[in-house]
Structure 1
Amino acid sequence: MAVPLSPTSAQDRIQSLDLLRGIAVLGILLMNIQSFSMPGAAYLNPTAYGNLEGVNHWVWVLSHLFADQKFMTLFSILFGAGILLVSERAKRKSQSPLGFHFSRNFWLLIIGLVHAYLIWYGDILVIYALCSFLVVWLRNKPPRTLLAIGLIVLCIPTLINLFFSASLQFMPPDVLEELRLDWHPSEEMLLAELAEVRGSLAGLLAHNAHAAWEMHTFVFFVLFLWRVSGLMLIGMALYGWGILTASRSASFYKKGMLLGFSIGFPITVYGMFQNFQAGWQMEYSMFTGSAYNYWGSLGLSYGYLCAVMLWSKSTASAEIKSRFAAVGQMALTNYVAQSIIGGIIFYGVGLGLFGQADRLTQLGITLGIWALQFSWSKPWLNSFRFGPLEWTWRSLTYRKLQAMKKS
């Protein structure tokens, strides 16, 4: 007999997943703050805009080394694990895993579209929802198969980049010039973007819509479809092996940290060196030069993952772990809240500081937002069952208003 599905209770949550999710949602702000505060080209090409000397240079180097793509990788892995976790819960209650999965992620897609087109174009929720509709069909494959397919899928953006790199010599001059301007916009283009974002609400929404549409079409098909889907499949494999639930031995996680860091750090550092040597020219850095961090981030993310699982297994710093876990339990609310706070600080409808904060200032703002979210998440969950957006998502998914306050 089917048992009605209901949200996971606090006592049934897996702390290691919430802990890792909390660290990931805070860590991802180190990179997203650049998109909130600077013209879009500066995210991929640090020489496209702003001061890259002295302390600002080292802020960029350290954020690229430790954060760029690493926390997005962890988020994607966790999302893949979540697909299996939710599927298992549905089967235990004799419900349709597929039906619940599609309902759950349809509403995530709607939340993501609102976020992307009305708040911040760099939203990842739309990408996750779309990819989840595809990878769910492989949920019953054994972990070894999921890992193999995931790694193969991850290779596709690298192959696409190699194809584009080899094709540059055959491209018409006007197409090459357009690529160069995408990579390093002219002064006129930068001023136009600054005016749009600092200007009226209508101009900001038009800018957001254009950038979000590009993310959901061209960028999705050449990058995100493959990277996010591949990482989700790897997340399913890691969950299936018990790696994400802190079920393996301390020795296993220590070896995993050593393996991940010894692979990830050298590749990422070498890639940075090569890009600076090439002067961050489009012909190299947009294609071949981007591959080092793409692959190096896998090793570093696995090292982070093992470190967090090792910490989760320990009995030390229980209060700090509970606060990080609370941030993770409210990951959707905290993720969108970061965009709202960024909009208030940088957009013309707020303080209008877009393009005026150097990388050191961005780091200071990031630390301030971390302090807010680290402070508010646990007290909120002491009184309420869900974060505000988690409550909205669950109420839509279960087609019933969920009880919000704890009894």
Structure 2
Amino acid sequence: MHRDVENESSVMLNLTVEPMVAPAVAPVDAPVAAPVQVQDRIAILDVIRGFALIGIFLMNIEFFNRSVGELSDGMPVGLSGANWLASYFVAYFVAGKFWTIFSLLFGMGFALMLMRAEEKGQDFFKTYFRRLLALATFGVLHYIFIWPGDILFSYAIAACGLLVVLFGKARWIVLGVIALGLVAAIPALNKVAAIATALALFGVMAFLLRNDKTLIVFAKPRPIIAVILYVVGALLFLIGVTSLVVTTMSSARPSLVFGLFVLLIAFVLDRAHQPKQARSWKIGSLLYTSLFLSMAIGGAAQYWGAGKTQVQAANQTQQASSTVVSASAQANEEVKTDAEAKNTASDKAPIIASASEKNKASEKEENKKKEAERLQKQLEDNRREVAILSKGTYAEALAFRVRELSENWTNVAIFSVLINCMFLIGYWFVQSGIMRDTKAHLPKFKKMALLGLPCGIGLGIAGSFITTSAVPGLENDPYMFAMALIYLGNLPACLGYVGLLVLMFHSTGVFSKVKLLAPYGRMALTNYLSQSVICSVIFYSYGLGYYGMQRAHQVAVVLIVVVLQILFSHWWLSKFRYGPMEWLWRAITYWKLPALKN
């Protein structure tokens, strides 16, 4: 399935991207693809899926009582007592950890479906595209008719991106990016730029994952992109050192920090290139971590550097004013006959400096104005959403969600790139055989739990000591840095939870009862959508109207609904093979009606 590296002792200039996995080509008389039978399912995956569904519900229920536009704003301000504890627990032990688990599972499911199709000689692509089309349709309908916090549509788009990453040809990726870029140049279609950006990033992921071309550096074959980044990072670092010698630390710091950051990425890419079988999880982890590490660096610079920058700007302005006054005083002491000439000469530099300062000030004011307008629009949209869902009609809510989807669909394209990082890690878990025989790899899962949970959750908690909420419009808001720490911790925490669940699954004591979540996980799509329906009925004005329920009470609602759903899942699957939505999804995927009753 993997090709050997060709002639690593020479410089390879052909950058054609080869498929990570050879696609299954079905012969004319190939077996027809069919749903996985119950006995062929990997039970631990259903347990993990059920556990993740509980976390997703704990996260989502808050935004049935709060504007979805505030998803990235942190904890609500002004909470106390049980409401603060409930909010803090979800924000730092749940939020961000469970959609990553679902993404991990999605990558595992993709790998399993691909491997089974190859083993049976079945056509994979036609079946999988129908599966994604159905999932995207479910997601759009869920978004419009029930709740705008849907993630199914994002998964469908991200899975299309995964096909590009694993199988896309370099020439078509490049041509696609160029074509979409030209379309985005049309003002009325500028949002297409988000798709072009996502496709370009998928191309980068494909190159990092599947390119085997190397350069011999220091008697060792190294991936081309790593060599390029080594050079770029070294140059940036040298520029920073030079700036440090010539000017000040503040001016040298960006080049020094960014240079070291690029060198770190180059080093990891160098180490990740071999063995090829482990490349998917290494590349996925690197891209995910790099994104939020850069966000943390930027957030730290914004928080700790903004105040100093403002003081420096004020000092520079004061010095410029002093220069003007000094020059004017000196000019008055000169001979009256050439006073005009000397005034002109002495005032020339301050006038130019003043014009430059004015231009910078004008540009800064313009940026502030645009940011203020954006924040004002966001606040108005949030208030409109709350008003409609707490007091409006279903028709008003429907119109609002349609408008939101038309305005914000570009976010899905960019988010799909982040999801793919998790897909690649999940893909490796199955391709490596670890998830197909978890019992044989218990030490690895124990290490994941012992390292991942303290590190992942600890990073978020460390950020909470800085701040737990965003302050819109604040120039040096520390929440960007605190949020970056949360996101950095989501990946190790996600892996830690998975490791813990595997250990519980294979235990013999009370913790083995976690297996009760398996039927709940087998009906994940049905339960996920029914959670949205239940919340709509309970909280929205066209239901029971309990919008704005206290956070602690929301957690109680989750516990009650989850217990009822687990009981219902056990009962349903004792009579039927699939959940209702799972049956429909399989019917569309395999284009035939699977047997429903046991």
TM-superposition CA deviations, 1:111-149 (whole Å, max 9, x none): 111111111111111011101111134458654211232
| Change over 3 Å in CA distance of 1:319–1:385 after alignment to 2 | farther
SS of 1:274's equivalent in the other structure is coil
Q: How does 1:237-276 map to 2 (within 5 A)?
A: 237-245=428-436, 246-276=438-468
Match of 2:141 in 1: 114
CA distance in 2, matches of 1:108, 1:190: 28
Give the conservation status (yes or no) of the 8 Å contact 1:131–1:228. yes
Where relative contact order (Cα < 8 A, 6+ residues apart) is larger, the structure is 1
Give the conservation status (yes or no) of the 8 Å contact 1:162–1:287. no
Deviation at 1:157, TM superposition (A): 6.2
- Greater Cα offset, 305-314 or 75-84: 305-314
Match of 1:149 in 2: 283
CA distance in 1, matches of 2:139, 2:556: 27
Count matched residues. Answer: 398
CA distance in 2, matches of 1:2, 1:221: 35
- Give the one of 172, 179, 187 matched to 2:367: 172
Give the conservation status (yes or no) of the 8 Å contact 1:70–1:301. yes
Please, what TM-score do these two structures have when normalized by structure 1?
0.89
Aligned CA RMSD, in angstroms, stands at 2.7
Match of 2:582 in 1: 390
TM-superposition CA deviations, 1:141-169 (whole Å, max 9, x none): 65421123213432346657877996x99
SS of 1:28's equivalent in the other structure is helix
- Establish whether residue 234 from structure 1 lines up as the match of residue 261 from structure 2: no
Match of 1:99 in 2: 126
TM-superposition CA deviations, 1:172-201 (whole Å, max 9, x none): 222222454477x3xx76553222113111
- Give the one of 389, 392, 409 matched to 1:216: 409
- Greater Cα offset, 244-253 or 391-400: 244-253
CA distance in 2, matches of 1:99, 1:189: 40
Deviation at 1:249, TM superposition (A): 3.2
Q: How does 1:5-404 map to 2 (within 5 A)?
A: 5-46=33-74, 48=76, 51-139=78-166, 142-154=276-288, 155-156=290-291, 159=294, 170=364, 172-181=367-376, 185=379, 191-198=383-390, 199-217=392-410, 219-222=411-414, 224-245=415-436, 246-276=438-468, 283=475, 284=477, 287-316=480-509, 320-355=513-548, 357-404=549-596
Give the conservation status (yes or no) of the 8 Å contact 1:22–1:331. yes
Give the conservation status (yes or no) of the 8 Å contact 1:29–1:366. yes
TM-superposition CA deviations, 1:275-326 (whole Å, max 9, x none): 2498687543563332111111111111100011112223445984443000
- Greater Cα offset, 123-132 or 151-160: 151-160
Select the structure of larger CA radius of gyration. Answer: 2
Deviation at 1:334, TM superposition (A): 0.6
| Change over 3 Å in CA distance of 1:258–1:278 after alignment to 2 | same
> What letter corresponds to residue 235 of structure 1 in structure 2?
G
> What letter corresponds to residue 275 of structure 1 in structure 2?
T
CA distance in 1, matches of 2:464, 2:499: 25
CA distance in 1, matches of 2:83, 2:580: 36
Give the conservation status (yes or no) of the 8 Å contact 1:384–1:404. yes
- Greater Cα offset, 270-279 or 108-117: 270-279
SS of 2:466's equivalent in the other structure is helix
- Greater Cα offset, 2-11 or 327-336: 2-11
CA distance in 1, matches of 2:521, 2:555: 21
Give the conservation status (yes or no) of the 8 Å contact 2:468–2:479. no
| Change over 3 Å in CA distance of 1:47–1:131 after alignment to 2 | closer
SS of 1:172's equivalent in the other structure is helix
SS of 2:462's equivalent in the other structure is helix
CA distance in 2, matches of 1:103, 1:317: 41
Give the conservation status (yes or no) of the 8 Å contact 1:197–1:207. no
> What letter corresponds to residue 63 of structure 1 in structure 2?
V
CA distance in 2, matches of 1:251, 1:319: 17
- Greater Cα offset, 99-108 or 296-305: 99-108
Give the conservation status (yes or no) of the 8 Å contact 2:55–2:95. no
SS of 2:465's equivalent in the other structure is helix
CA distance in 1, matches of 2:427, 2:296: 27
- Greater Cα offset, 130-139 or 378-387: 130-139
